[in-house]
Amino acid sequence: MKAVPLKDIKNELNHLPASNLVDVCLRLSRFKKENKELLTYLLFESSNEELYIDSIKKHIDSSFEEINKKSFFYIRKSIRKILSQTKKFIRYSQKKETEVELLLYFCKKLKDFKPSIKNSQQLQNMYNRQIALANKAIASLHEDLQYDYNLIIEDLQIQ
What confidence tens digit (pLDDT) does each residue in 72-103 have? 899 999 999 999 999 999 999 999 999 999 99
Please provide the average confidence, as pLDDT, over all residues in the chain. 91
- Closest C-alpha to 42, from 55, 30, 52: 52
Most confident of 100-109, 112-121, 147-156: 100-109
pLDDT class for 110, splitting at 50, 70, 90? very high
Position 131 scores a pLDDT of: 93
Residues 40-66: b if buried by 16+ CB within 10 A, e if exposed: ebeeebeeeeeebbeebbeebeebbee
CA angle 78, 92, 150 (to 5 degrees): 75
Mean pLDDT across the stretch 16-26? Answer: 88
According to DSSP, residue 120 is labeled: -
What confidence tens digit (pLDDT) does each residue in 30-51 have? 888 898 998 889 888 989 999 9
Judge whether 147 and 139 are in contact, CB under 8 Å.
no
What confidence tens digit (pLDDT) does each residue in 3-12 have? 888 888 888 8
Q: Which residues, other chains included, contact 45 with Cβ-Cβ below 8 Å and sequence gap of 6+?
A: 51, 52, 55
